[in-house]
Amino acid sequence: MYRLFYFICKKKNLNNIIFSTFFSQKIIFMDKIILAFEFSENSNSALNMALTIAERTNSVLEIVWVDNTLDDLVEIEKNTIHEHFDEILRSIVTQNKDKLPPNYLTYSIITGNVCDAIANKAAFEDVALIVVGTHEKKQNIETRWTNSTASKLVEKTNCPVLSVPNNYNFIDIKKIVVPIDFDFSTRQKAPMVTWIAKAFNAYIHIVGLLTSGDEEHIEKIKEYSQQVGRFFMNNQIEYEITYKAANNIAKEILAFAETKNANLISIMTRQEISISNILYGSYAHQIILRSRIPILTIRPLNINSLDQENLGT
């Protein structure tokens, strides 16, 4: 099967990838999706979205529960816990088996620290996407120490992570926000967004984030935005480009997505540095915790050489 070039490059850890080659790959096929399940409303919201994505993309979906029970539990207690959750997971698969082809919906129980175990499984099995539910905020002020499973997973894994807010009522993905900043890796989200946009026939809102009034900065943001736009155009995806001044990237992205009634935001794990980023944690962390809609987070490839002239053509 053809695989998304993004993941081939990631797996082989290539250091010198020409962007024109990277962006020329139009056949996108996802092998496997993992749903990190924790038997809560968070996971139920994520389950609905994961099932739909797997159905639309003909992907295998594995529901994974991580048993992180304390070591001091006696063996009989551990066995009882496993049997209980195994029965629930089997029931979930049975109830939803008609939504995917035979053997495309499975489940498993693994042990260990939740984020470490999921990240290791994703790496070992070459998983293409992790779906996870996020918790509601417990504090009025977010700090870099208020982590959710989703934001921790983003830090632990190289696999793209789709975080679904608690009680999110997923219906469809019709509008996707794609922020573009000054970091050269900002364009690497385009292939993954293309995969989702084509599966759901979604419209793309590219938003160029102008964090400086410097002329060179503005021109670079415009160049990156137009390159990504050409890539979407070449893949028959409708899009538009908007430029916004942004002192706080996270705040501006979320506000823009709300004005567009977006169903998904795609971000990278590395963004420009600012004072607010230092004080409140990474922009990815802020966006995941504060967003009312799903967030697709992608870790950048290690790319040292760019063919900017031909990007997106």
- Assess whether pLDDT exceeds 60 at residue 120: yes
Which domain, by its residues, includes 98? 31-170
- The last residue of one of the domains, among 139, 170, 201, is 170
Residue 7 lies in a domain: no
19 with 191: CB under 8 angstroms? Answer: no
Residue 42, number of CB atoms within 10 A of its CB: 25
Do 76 and 100 share a structural domain?
Answer: yes
Query: How many structural domains compose the chain?
Result: 2
Instruction: Tell whether 145 and 86 lie within a shared domain.
Output: yes
Model confidence at 43: pLDDT above 90? no
Q: Is the pLDDT of residue 248 over 50?
A: yes
Same domain? For 184 and 157 the reply is no
Task: List all residues 6 or more positions away from 10 whose beta carbon is below 8 Å from its beta carbon.
Answer: 158, 299, 301
Do residue 38 and residue 99 come from a single domain?
A: yes
Q: Residue 157 domain-assigned?
A: yes
CA–CA distances in Å: residue 244 to residues 213, 216, 256: 11, 16, 9
Domain check: are 43 and 117 in the same one? Answer: yes
**Residue-level pLDDT at 18:** 34
Within-domain flag for 16: no
Whether 53 maps to a domain, the answer reads yes
Position with higher pLDDT, 76 vs 307: 76
Pair (157, 180) in one structural domain:
no
- The residue behind tokens 């990631």 is 10
Statement to judge: residues 108 and 199 lie in one domain: no
CB-based contact 79:103 (threshold 8 Å): no
Residue type, 231: F
Q: Smallest Cα–Cα separation from 288: which of 182, 147, 117, 156?
A: 147
Q: Given 127, 155, 170, which residue is the final one in a domain?
A: 170
* Domain match, 36 and 162 both: yes
**Out of 138-142, 186-190, 231-235, 249-253, least confident range:** 138-142
Q: For the chain, report the end-to-end CA distance as a whole number of angstroms.
A: 24
Is residue 6 a part of any domain in this protein?
Answer: no
Domain shared by 210 and 289, yes or no: yes
Asked whether residue 120 falls in the same domain as residue 233, the answer is no
Name the band, by pLDDT with cuts 50, 70 and 90, for residue 42.
low
The answer as to whether 308 is a domain residue is: no
254: domain CATH number?
A: 3.40.50.620
Question: HEC states along 96-129?
Answer: HHHHCCCCCEEEEEEECCHHHHHHHHHHHCCCCE
Q: Is 23 a domain residue?
A: no
In which band, very low, low, confident or very high, does the pLDDT at 9 lie, cut at 50, 70 and 90?
Answer: very low
Pair (124, 196) in one structural domain: no
Residue 129 banded pLDDT, cuts 50, 70, 90? very high
The region that residue 39 occupies, defined by phi over 0 for left and psi between -120 and 50 for alpha, beta otherwise, is left
**What's the whole-model pTM score?**
0.81
**Boundary of a domain, candidates 116, 140, 170:** 170
Mean pLDDT of 150-169: 88
In a domain, 18, yes or no: no
Q: Would you say 236 and 266 are in contact if contact means Cβ atoms under 8 Å apart? A: no
Same domain, 177 and 109: no
- Among 20-34, 75-89, 150-164, 198-212, name the most confident range: 198-212
